[in-house]
Amino acid sequence: MKILKPKYWKEYSLLDFGNDVKVEKFYDKILIRPETEAKNQLEKNLSFWNAKSVYKNDWSDEITDWVINYKSEVIDIKAKVFLSNSKHVGIFPEQAVNWEFIARNISKKDKFLNLFGYTGIASLVAAKECEQVTHVDSSPSIIKRAKQNAEINQINNIRFINDDALLFCKKELKRGNKYKGIILDPPVFGFGAKGKSWKLTKNIEELIKTIKLLCEKDAFIILNTYSPQFKQNDALKLLYQIFGRKAKIDFGKLALNSVNNKELLLNDFFVITQF
């Protein structure tokens, strides 16, 4: 199985993980939050870290939003870290692998689509490389966060859409719009902008089939899945069913290395090209 890990993070580090939690440093602040994939033993007691905030059903201390920078050979972006009412903080550090792929595989005249776009870091990366980026998310508050990230980076070529991902794609299909690159990070379960329910195992096949029709020639699709109910082999079988056995599909796990070089395996990824 292919395992991909970010190489260029300087303002993020995974300090420790185990016992179903992870200890992370975002710029100058240490956070502790749940992680279902952290099944090993912690190397140090959590009290050792003197964390700024700990998540247990809610964050132990409120912290004002702060900005973190990601810089590599081809990317230089900033994004806000914030403590949401879930364990999430606005950034998935392991996704830097996908940002690098986007930056290296999209060019000025291309169009890029980010579905379930969250706070929009993939959108920022694409917007610095191509003329038009469309960012879709069903949460108005998250769209607001994504717009703030665009403002921080002085980016104004992102079209922000508050909509259900599948309904939006169907409308784009009718409008005849095509994209060179598409990324999607569908949740296990959720509700669209108009209250329409989303269930990964029920709706993913229709969404992927619609996305295929939105692709330009020589396009790429990045799919990330986080659900134990949608296993990697099941996803791969579905993708080959939709795109054909001749499609090129790279797949594996995104992961993070701790400062002590322990490997934390996280979500499944699939990159579909040449279909």
For the chain (length 275 residues), average pLDDT per consecutive 10?
96 98 98 96 97 97 96 98 95 98 97 98 98 96 98 98 95 97 89 72 93 96 89 95 95 97 97 94
**pLDDT of amino acid 190:** 74
Q: Where along the chain do its domains lie?
A: 2-273
Buried b (16+ CB within 10 A) or exposed e, 95-129: bbbbbbbbbebbeeebbbbbbbbbbbbbbbbbbbb
Indicate the pairing of strand 66-71 with strand 76-81: antiparallel
Distance CA 256, CA 54 (A): 20
**pLDDT of amino acid 192:** 66
**pLDDT of amino acid 106:** 97
**pLDDT of amino acid 193:** 64
Distance CA 237, CA 223 (A): 14
Distance CA 239, CA 65 (A): 38
**pLDDT of amino acid 194:** 65
Distance CA 196, CA 33 (A): 30
CA-to-CA separations, 50 to 40, 66, 87, 199, in angstroms, rounded: 21, 19, 18, 39
Which CATH superfamily groups domain 2-273?
Vaccinia Virus protein VP39 (3.40.50.150)
User: What three-state secondary structure class fits 27?
Assistant: coil
**Assessment of whether the complete model's pTM goes beyond 0.85:** yes
Look-up of token digits 């295929």: 212
